[in-house]
Amino acid sequence: MMKIGIDYFAASTHAPGIGRYGRELVRALVRLSDCPELLLWSWGRGESLGENALGLAGPDVVHQAKRVSIRLPQRAAGVLQKITGKGPEALCGPLDIFHRMTPFTPALGRSVAHRPRQVQPLLELPAPGSSGESELRNALLEMDAIVCGSRAGAQQAIEQLGLPAERVHAVTTGADHWLRDTAPLTAGSLQQAGPPQLLVLGAISEARRPLGILSAFEALIEYKPHSNTKLVFCGRGGDLANAFRDALAASPVAHAVSWIDDPVEEDLPALVAGSTALIHMSAGELSPITPLEALTFGAAVVASDLPAFREVLATTPGAFLMPSDTPDDPAELARAMQAAIESGVDQSAREQRMIQAQKYTWRANAEETLALWRALTPPRS
């Protein structure tokens, strides 16, 4: 049987982003009848998510994963690793595959006798020409396989970073995680309960263009002054937190805007299900996870025209793609917001979006990842 090591620290301590990816991948794997032996490697200090969030136990679990943890600060663990020359395989035993979450740490041991193949998920690209781009490229060239959550994203990574095409693979992006937490709610049922609501998920940072979204909302309300539409930002403060706070305080539509600056994971399913449309401006994302989370509940979507988003949204009713490489045009974005509101309150359109999202499951992600592992490593005798 294959022996797979997985970097599980982020999965066990961080709800969104790479943490969700690792957690949901493992959660789906342990429910597959042909799941290989899994060793979940974790080093570092951080408050662990609850057992329900991890999903490693339950009547439908058919394989028990083993967890190996070192409760040291990551910097101290890194120093210890340099001194001993030993990596995760020292505690886990010989591995066939080490599935990473970051290409930089933890390092594998210096011994090459039983060096595992390394697989690295790639969710986002740095800005072209940035200082981090070269560092990331060099790290990824050490990997045996790179995994992206869309075919378009995989191609974008190959072109921007100059990666060998045969090492870059696309797998299905899972987006059904919140459905477990909202049953027996039906998509759209919450949305019908109140006024139209536009939702923005993610940190208040330059990449998310919160100031442009606020300006577009102001244009929308100016065009429809009697509209009762609400705008909700849900994300921690990022590099534009102070500028956004100042702009919101001076905005004529401040009464219709709210900012949830300390998101609670358990509240997100109802928040998304209760929204008319998602507004998701971004850059560099290689996975359509956030738009798919909205489609899962039937919400309309206004998103940046990124290749990974286009792959999913190009034929989606009620999805509107905005140029990602030009300055914000408040009037254009306001028109897209209005069109999304109209589609977001259309129950038939919401049901079409729900149906489209149904194939994007974490089980499919796990099955395709398992197939990749097998292709990388022949069975041991």
Cis previous bond, 126, omega within 30: no
At 94 the pLDDT is 82
Residue 16 covered by a domain? yes
The answer on 366 and 345 residing in a single domain is no
The answer on 191 and 131 residing in a single domain is no
The answer on 219 and 96 residing in a single domain is no
Residue 138 covered by a domain? yes
Residue 241's contacts (CB-CB under 8 Å, 6 or more residues apart) are: 204, 261
Handedness of CA 144, 148, 150, 152 (dihedral sign): negative
Classify 330 as helix, strand or coil: helix
Number of domains in the chain: 2
Residue 193's contacts (CB-CB under 8 Å, 6 or more residues apart) are: 274
Digit-by-digit pLDDT tens for the chain (381 residues) are: 899 999 999 999 999 999 999 999 999 999 999 999 999 988 777 788 888 899 999 999 999 999 987 766 666 556 655 655 566 666 667 889 999 999 887 777 656 567 789 999 999 999 999 989 999 999 999 999 999 999 999 999 999 999 999 999 999 999 999 998 665 455 455 555 579 999 999 999 999 999 999 999 999 999 887 789 999 999 999 999 999 999 999 999 999 999 999 999 989 998 999 999 999 999 999 999 999 999 999 999 999 999 999 999 999 999 999 997 666 789 999 999 999 999 999 999 999 999 999 999 999 999 999 999 999 986 554
The answer on 252 and 183 residing in a single domain is yes
Bridge-partner residues for 199, per DSSP?
232, 278
At 381 the pLDDT is 43
At 184 the pLDDT is 44
The answer on 190 and 86 residing in a single domain is no
Q: Which amino acid is at 96?
A: D
Helices (H), the chain: 9-13, 17-29, 51-54, 74-84, 88-92, 131-140, 151-161, 179-182, 210-223, 241-250, 268-273, 289-296, 307-313, 330-344, 347-357, 362-376
The answer on 368 and 344 residing in a single domain is no
**Which CATH number belongs to the domain containing residue 38 in this structure?**
3.40.50.2000
pTM exceeds 0.85: yes
The answer on 192 and 145 residing in a single domain is no
The answer on 248 and 99 residing in a single domain is no
Structural domain including 218 reads 179-357
Rounded to whole angstroms, how far apart are CA atoms 262 and 240?
16
Spatial CA neighbour of 274 closest among 197, 329, 366, 369: 197
The answer on 336 and 211 residing in a single domain is yes
Residue 222 covered by a domain? yes
Rounded to whole angstroms, how far apart are CA atoms 101 and 14?
12
Q: What secondary structure letter does DSSP report for 204?
A: B
At 166 the pLDDT is 97
Rounded to whole angstroms, how far apart are CA atoms 357 and 176?
8
The answer on 247 and 150 residing in a single domain is no
Q: 62: burial class by Cβ within 10 Å (0-12, 13-18, 19+)?
A: exposed
Residue 109 covered by a domain? yes
Residue 76 covered by a domain? yes
The answer on 262 and 118 residing in a single domain is no
Spatial CA neighbour of 173 closest among 374, 319, 301, 359: 359
Spatial CA neighbour of 306 closest among 156, 92, 181: 156
Residue 381 covered by a domain? no
Q: Which amino acid is at 308?
A: A
The answer on 67 and 204 residing in a single domain is no
Residue 258's contacts (CB-CB under 8 Å, 6 or more residues apart) are: 230, 231, 232, 233
